[in-house]
Structure 1
Amino acid sequence: MGAQKKGGARVSEDPVEQGHQRLQAILLADSFTTKFRPVTLERPKVLLPLVNVPMIDYTLAWLEFAGIEEVFVFCCAHSAQIIDYLENSEWSSHPNLSVRTIESQKSISAGDALRYIYEQQAETSQIQGDFVLVSGDTVSNMPLADLIKEHRERKKKDEKAIMTMVIKQSKPSPITHQSRLGTDQLFLAVDPKTKQLLHYEEDKIDHARGSVCLEKSLLQSEPSLLLYSDMQDCYIDICSPEVLSLFEDNFDYQHLRRHFVKGVLVDDIMGYKIFTHEIDSSYAARIDNFRSYDTVSKDIIQRWTFPYVPDINFSGNRPLKLGRQGIYKASDVVQSRSADVGSSTVVGDGTKIGDGSRILNSVIGSGCCIGSNVVIEGSYIWNNVVIEDGCEIRNAIVCDGVKIREGAVLEPGVVLSFNVVVGRGFVVPAYSKASLLQQPTKEDSDEELECVESSSVAADLLAGLNLEMEARESDLGPDGAGYIWEVCEGANDEEWKHSVAPIPMDKVAEIIQAMEDDDDREDESCVPTSGELRSDADSINTDMNDPGDDDYGYFEKEVEGTFLRAVEEGIVVENVILEINGLRLSYNMESADCAGATFYSMMKLAVDTPHNSADELCKNAVSIITKWKRLLGFHVKKTDEQIEVIMKFEEMCQETAKELGTLFAKILHVMYEIDLLQEDAILRWAEEKAGADEADRVYLQQCEAFIQWLKEASEEEDDDEDDEEEEDA
């Protein structure tokens, strides 16, 4: 038996066969993309701070915790910075984890990196057997021992089983994954018995039709398929040594998924197989763009990534103190008494916050100086940043050494790279990216390096990139310093997908509309993007055994869980709308069902919030309705949807929240006053209730005065219109 360790038992194997095989991992310290430019032109992505800790520390800490003994860190772009960091960190002398670096500045893809490692492997025999393959921007707390054991046992039975991919469900819908992580929707087809991966698709899903095309040969060869459209690829793979040799044999394998995985799946000659492993309770995510950077940061603050949270010392830094409402502060923070640091906020060492400033849902680094009357919301301020009086920063990323002069404004989605200066009163437009480095006139492809290594980035940036630059004045005001990069042609409409800014409401509406526009065309090569595809006989049997009576109950519980998470984590309304509409599509519900379930969730929260009287309960309810008016309002645009809300309110008062009963008329009136319920909906509900039994007219009678007032107001309005028509005549 192996030694016991934090992340669980070592993989237990035959002592003769596996006694000397160390648990190893390959960590790719280059993303081989340009999504974090211009920031990554000066610093490698894996060294960027994630809640004030370099990304790579999260990955290494998790690997050590999970029982990995040796990690090979592959360095390419900015390799000197990464090597220097590792040599001067605790990882250089860690007692439980050996960290070794492999350097190659010529590799321009993950495929090149693995080919280079294979070539080195032939000389040094570094990789001894199965290994974990991850990138240095991965945050996880999942155990690996059982997964590695599962992979090895499968390989003993089937020598063609060379890889196990970790996947995780992105609840509750396909669009939720996009809204949270900014990535493309993923479609998988898996053998339900063996969990073998049969189809992997990121690019060609027909969102408007809610379907995806599969090869007929696949449908004919498999008795049943498990179809996933709500999965997140965690980019955590358990690999056999054959994986490295396949990259060596196939030079067209560049991207790990688009080329390697899809190539293996269609290769009938070699017959290699890839399997999936779905995790449930554990956390795993990769930071692929600025939106996923924002999402994972929030998950860390909300402690979904425990034990890798701000108040745990896992990276050699001093842990922060956790206070109420998820506020983390270093012990030496200097905060004015009139300053307000709100919920879900992290403030690092030596930072000073001036009079009247307000910080909410943000991460502030070390050594920052924040002036008076500054507003910072949903933003990431890195180290040694100076923000002068009266500035406003919302949903932005501000890198080390930036200076934002008095009265300047950063609109949502702004990214300021290192040492940029924003001039007094200057407004940086939404989604702008600014840097002291001028934008290359020719962009390299998304498959190429973040940047070639250079001893002086500013002076030698062009080395290896063959880019032309032209001098010009600062774009950030007369007393500013830096240049605003132009959005590449064709990418302007995509900026919102990958930004730290909330998804715009018009884009929310577009996404929902696209998913609703199902043309219902039948095509034997197209299948729905969820559930299990079976033979006709199996489908009949399944349908007979599935009562389907509780669908609305499950739907309502999911909506309630989504709403409560939004309240607890401060999720923006736009994303909550996406999630609830995704649930609606998943459960095949109507918009009126969303309205009823959302209102139910709001009223249940009001009842569950501590109160000592009916007046306090009423205040709770009105406060919640007012705060989340946009959420409910999105689902009550039609009269039928508004009537559904009133009927749901009746049902609650009668069955689950009877103490709300005395407040029925008051709350109905409030919803009318703030334009959530229209006059026509209330009067139609009243007409329908008028013929009901006495027991069913309790709340109608309570609203009698209000209903009469609405009728009189309606009649007066009709009379006024008639008078105007007569005058016009």
Structure 2
Amino acid sequence: MAQKKGGGSAKVADVADIQARDPLQAVLLADSFTQRFRPITLERPKVLLPLVNVPMIKYTLLWLESVGVEEVFVFCCAHAKQVTSYLENNGSFGSPSFKVTAIESNDSISAGDALRTIFERGVIKGDFVLISGDTVSNMSLTQALQEHKERRKKDPLAVMTMVIRQSKPSPITNQTRLGNDELVLVIDPESSQLLYYEEKAQHSRGVVSIDRTFLADRPAICIYNDKQDCFIDICSPEVLSLFTDNFDYQQLRRDFVKGLLMDEILGYKIFTHEIHSSYAARVDNFRSYDTIGKDILQRWTYPLLPDVLSNGNGLQVKVNRQGVYKASDVIQSRSAHIGPLSLVGEGTVIGDNSMIWNSVIGRGCTIGCNVSIENCYIWDSVTIQDKCKLRHAVVCDGVVLKTGAVLEPGVILSFKVIIGEGFVVPAYSKISLMTQPTKQDSDEELEYADSSTGAIDSPSSTGMENDSNGVFRSKSLDSPCWDASEVGVSGAGYLWLVGEGAHEEEWRQSVAPVPADKLKEFLRIHEDKKEVSSPTANVNPTSGESRHDSGSVDDDEDEKDDDAYFEREVEETFRRAVSDVPGVKLDNVILEVNALRLAYNMTVSDCAGALFHTVLKLGVESLSGTSRGLFLNAKEEIVKWKGLLKNYLQSEDDEVEVLLKFEEICLESLREYSPIFCSILQVLYDEEIVTEDAILKWASEKQGADESDKIFLKQCEGYIQTQKTAMFQTVTVS
């Protein structure tokens, strides 16, 4: 009887615990506290900037709702009225239990100030998710949250769990595909405790200095330079009080995380949770804006996709097999072409012979005739007149490009800028109707706020005045004071000058690819470093595990991840070349692929295989809208790019590796090619991409394989016999 009574009491206690459970809360920082999106963010907060035609904050809020967060506190400082207005008008996210509350502050100038304000309000009741409003993710939070809570039960000093993921950096430029500096982490492999966090760890010398005390009571530590900080944190309430007790804590990573890791007295601990198959990334600069935008179009962020998010909004964006997203009311000339990985918003008109590749076009845009748009982000209500050419640019709402205007790579045009007829805007230029502040903030982390007032620089110092909506605009919009050398005749806007020493930062974090001359310079420096390095040099490993005894963990899994990331990077580089019409510069493509080869420690045959895979993808994609068959499409692409492929086939063994890769492609990713394997093989031979010796060597290696591995060998038996006969006749005649 006693046991039954005790069991009943336990059930009652469980019910009481559930009823008393605090709702899962989140703190969303709507201010980035950086200047990287100026001059755009002088007029609109970063979280409301469109990412593939959807405000960034919407991706974050939808994810928080999907993972079970019930209450979100959105902290906003600069442009608070715009943020709160958006939340009021777009606050319904489907679930009645999902509550979003804005917390405004006019005097916070850092993330530390924001969290101190949250603490003072007393709204956080338990563990909470800390996230920036420019984060895109589809990960499940269940496991990370459970790990955090279990650790907290055992150790009250475990105050934070950081989400990380694989992100292979480049040893050439010391940055990730998101444009961030290379990150070095030291993690205890047994407990996942974070021991060391450094964004810039003397990479120029190739040395990472790790304290030996990390190994004092641990059998192993893992040192990584191939992880990405997702900026998704699960925090205990103590995190808020720690910020309140330490006013030196201003930035989350630079001050708080590094401060806790170095503080041996308090003993607080930070842990990591690594995701593998899920997606999570933060829009930190223009390069990551472009990268994440491409990831969305390639559907890595499912279900946060343009065609899914448009459901119920009357937008009716649909996607076809070429990866072209288009609203149902788009008016497109029959001679206009929209290439793969592009999106065109509703109400947009596209004129004759205009070409769009790898670009996002907003709502209500007017694109004239003979316009070329490549790898651009065109926002709403933009007018692009005839014969304009745009490459790797961001064009904000209301911009007008007059006939023949050209935007070179890396250009940023802020709201309502006008570019005159035939004017060429130089690479990496930033133009705005806002004059550039003459007084710059001393702290690079301040995005909008002056350190003394918490407001944008005074109108007297910037030439701006505040309108009724709280937006600063130029006082002289109605007077013809624009410099024609900056925006062309009849143009409108001010050219922002790049600060001294900031030129490298501009192209490293730009929407444009790394310039070819910079890649050459980096490659030369990298090769020089490799030549002078010694096997006995005092250089610690930057990715892997350091043990008292030798060994490795998950090597096979890491290699698979590296292969996947490498192929994806090569494909993106190649597609940029495909869209660069007219006149693809093969030397630049080869340069970029070589940089990737060094970054991922791959072979030339790996490069050839990745490029060949992408060429075959183009053959499949071009099936839509054509009466030609797959073979003819694939043959055309192979002939077009044979020079690039042959550049990476430097030996007979390399050619055999590509044939093995072709088999893998036919069995796994592009099964459409399985029935025509032999026909494509003959094209490769006819175009002198692979030799008959390589074909016969491939066939010979297959002879001893299992029957299931001889599918394509059997398909090619007749062709191979013909090759053998031809070779025998050649030898006999000789």
Pair 1:624 & 2:638 matched: yes
Rounded to whole Å, the distance in 1 between the matches of 2:560 and 2:75 is: 50
Rounded to whole Å, the distance in 1 between the matches of 2:312 and 2:678 is: 56
Aligned twin of 1:267 = 263
Rounded to whole Å, the distance in 2 between the matches of 1:298 and 1:605 is: 17
How far 1:21 moved relative to its partner? 0.1
Write out per-residue CA displacement over residues 346-395 of structure 1, whole angstroms, 9 at most, x where no aligned residue: 11121111122111211111111111111111111111111111111111
Which of 388, 391, 396 is the equivalent residue of 1:391? 388
Write out per-residue CA displacement over residues 194-240 of structure 1, whole angstroms, 9 at most, x where no aligned residue: 1000111111242563x422122224443201222111100000000
Gap regions ≥5 residues in structure 1: 1-11, 712-729
SS in 2 for 1:90: coil
Which of 269, 292, 304 is the equivalent residue of 2:288? 292
Taking structure 1 as reference, are residues 555 and 70 closer, same or farther at Cα in structure 2, changes over 3 Å only? closer
SS in 2 for 1:278: strand
Alignment of 1:127-138 (within 5 A): 127-138=124-135
Which of 409, 412, 428 is the equivalent residue of 1:412? 409
Pair 1:362 & 2:343 matched: no
Pair 1:484 & 2:482 matched: no
Aligned twin of 2:512 = 501
Taking structure 1 as reference, are residues 249 and 507 closer, same or farther at Cα in structure 2, changes over 3 Å only? same
Output the amino acid matched with 1:54: P
Gap regions ≥5 residues in structure 2: 1-12, 580-585, 624-628, 667-673, 704-719
Aligned twin of 1:190 = 187
Aligned twin of 1:141 = 138
Write out per-residue CA displacement over residues 569-602 of structure 1, whole angstroms, 9 at most, x where no aligned residue: 989897897577556555x55x545456457657
SS in 2 for 1:527: coil
Alignment of 1:390-539 (within 5 A): 390-444=387-441, 445-451=443-449, 459-460=464-465, 473-474=483-484, 475-516=486-527, 517-518=529-530, 519-521=532-534, 526-535=539-548, 538-539=549-550
Q: Retained in 1: the 8 A contact 2:482–2:493?
A: no
How far 1:459 moved relative to its partner? 3.6
Aligned twin of 1:101 = 102
Rounded to whole Å, the distance in 2 between the matches of 1:704 and 1:507 is: 51
Taking structure 1 as reference, are residues 497 and 565 closer, same or farther at Cα in structure 2, changes over 3 Å only? closer
Rounded to whole Å, the distance in 2 between the matches of 1:40 and 1:246 is: 30
Rounded to whole Å, the distance in 2 between the matches of 1:287 and 1:380 is: 14
Query: Which TM-score applies when normalising by structure 1?
Result: 0.79
Output the amino acid matched with 1:373: N
How far 1:143 moved relative to its partner? 1.6
Q: Which has the higher contact order (CA 8 A, sep 6+)?
A: 1
Rounded to whole Å, the distance in 2 between the matches of 1:293 and 1:138 is: 11
Write out per-residue CA displacement over residues 397-442 of structure 1, whole angstroms, 9 at most, x where no aligned residue: 1101111111111111111000100000001111111001121223
After superposing the two structures, state which structure 1 stretch, 226-235 or 440-449, moved more. Answer: 440-449
Rounded to whole Å, the distance in 1 between the matches of 2:554 and 2:363 is: 56
Rounded to whole Å, the distance in 2 between the matches of 1:385 and 1:54 is: 17
Aligned twin of 1:86 = 87
SS in 1 for 2:308: coil
Q: Retained in 2: the 8 A contact 1:558–1:583?
A: no
Aligned twin of 1:37 = 38
Taking structure 1 as reference, are residues 192 and 477 closer, same or farther at Cα in structure 2, changes over 3 Å only? same
Taking structure 1 as reference, are residues 357 and 622 closer, same or farther at Cα in structure 2, changes over 3 Å only? closer
Rounded to whole Å, the distance in 1 between the matches of 2:408 and 2:194 is: 43
Write out per-residue CA displacement over residues 433-479 of structure 1, whole angstroms, 9 at most, x where no aligned residue: 100112122322321133566799974379999x9999763520121
Pair 1:376 & 2:390 matched: no
Q: Retained in 2: the 8 A contact 1:562–1:580?
A: no
Taking structure 1 as reference, are residues 697 and 193 closer, same or farther at Cα in structure 2, changes over 3 Å only? same
SS in 2 for 1:178: coil
After superposing the two structures, state which structure 1 stretch, 255-264 or 553-562, moved more. Answer: 553-562
Taking structure 1 as reference, are residues 288 and 308 closer, same or farther at Cα in structure 2, changes over 3 Å only? same
Q: Retained in 2: the 8 A contact 1:31–1:135?
A: yes
Rounded to whole Å, the distance in 2 between the matches of 1:477 and 1:603 is: 40
Q: Retained in 2: the 8 A contact 1:21–1:129?
A: yes
How far 1:646 moved relative to its partner? 4.7
Q: Retained in 1: the 8 A contact 2:400–2:416?
A: yes
Q: Retained in 2: the 8 A contact 1:336–1:353?
A: yes
Query: Which TM-score applies when normalising by structure 2?
Result: 0.79
Rounded to whole Å, the distance in 2 between the matches of 1:554 and 1:248 is: 41
Rounded to whole Å, the distance in 2 between the matches of 1:378 and 1:610 is: 19
After superposing the two structures, state which structure 1 stretch, 226-235 or 646-655, moved more. Answer: 646-655
Write out per-residue CA displacement over residues 688-717 of structure 1, whole angstroms, 9 at most, x where no aligned residue: x9xx9xx9999799689999xxx9xxxxxx
Taking structure 1 as reference, are residues 570 and 56 closer, same or farther at Cα in structure 2, changes over 3 Å only? farther
How far 1:259 moved relative to its partner? 1.0
Q: Retained in 1: the 8 A contact 2:570–2:611?
A: no
Pair 1:277 & 2:278 matched: no
How far 1:317 moved relative to its partner? 3.6
Output the amino acid matched with 2:43: E
Taking structure 1 as reference, are residues 453 and 346 closer, same or farther at Cα in structure 2, changes over 3 Å only? farther
Rounded to whole Å, the distance in 1 between the matches of 2:555 and 2:427 is: 50
Q: Retained in 2: the 8 A contact 1:110–1:256?
A: yes
Pair 1:313 & 2:313 matched: no
Taking structure 1 as reference, are residues 623 and 110 closer, same or farther at Cα in structure 2, changes over 3 Å only? same
Rounded to whole Å, the distance in 1 between the matches of 2:495 and 2:382 is: 19
Rounded to whole Å, the distance in 1 between the matches of 2:373 and 2:619 is: 32
Q: Retained in 1: the 8 A contact 2:45–2:79?
A: yes
Which of 249, 252, 257 is the equivalent residue of 2:248? 252
How far 1:522 moved relative to its partner? 6.4
Write out per-residue CA displacement over residues 312-359 of structure 1, whole angstroms, 9 at most, x where no aligned residue: 237974343323212222222222222222222111121111122111
Aligned twin of 1:163 = 160
How far 1:645 moved relative to its partner? 3.8
Taking structure 1 as reference, are residues 354 and 234 closer, same or farther at Cα in structure 2, changes over 3 Å only? same
SS in 1 for 2:175: helix
Q: Retained in 2: the 8 A contact 1:598–1:632?
A: no
Output the amino acid matched with 1:268: E
Aligned twin of 1:21 = 22
Output the amino acid matched with 2:373: I
Rounded to whole Å, the distance in 1 between the matches of 2:373 and 2:350 is: 11
Q: Retained in 2: the 8 A contact 1:167–1:276?
A: yes
Report how many residues are paired. Answer: 662
Output the amino acid matched with 2:253: R
Aligned twin of 2:10 = none
Rounded to whole Å, the distance in 2 between the matches of 1:616 and 1:333 is: 29
Output the amino acid matched with 1:626: K
SS in 1 for 2:304: coil
Aligned twin of 1:351 = 348
Alignment of 1:29-68 (within 5 A): 29-68=30-69
After superposing the two structures, state which structure 1 stretch, 654-663 or 338-347, moved more. Answer: 654-663
RMSD: 4.5
Taking structure 1 as reference, are residues 626 and 284 closer, same or farther at Cα in structure 2, changes over 3 Å only? same
Alignment of 1:212-227 (within 5 A): 212-227=208-223
Taking structure 1 as reference, are residues 453 and 129 closer, same or farther at Cα in structure 2, changes over 3 Å only? same
Rounded to whole Å, the distance in 2 between the matches of 1:305 and 1:553 is: 21
How far 1:85 moved relative to its partner? 1.7
Pair 1:334 & 2:334 matched: no
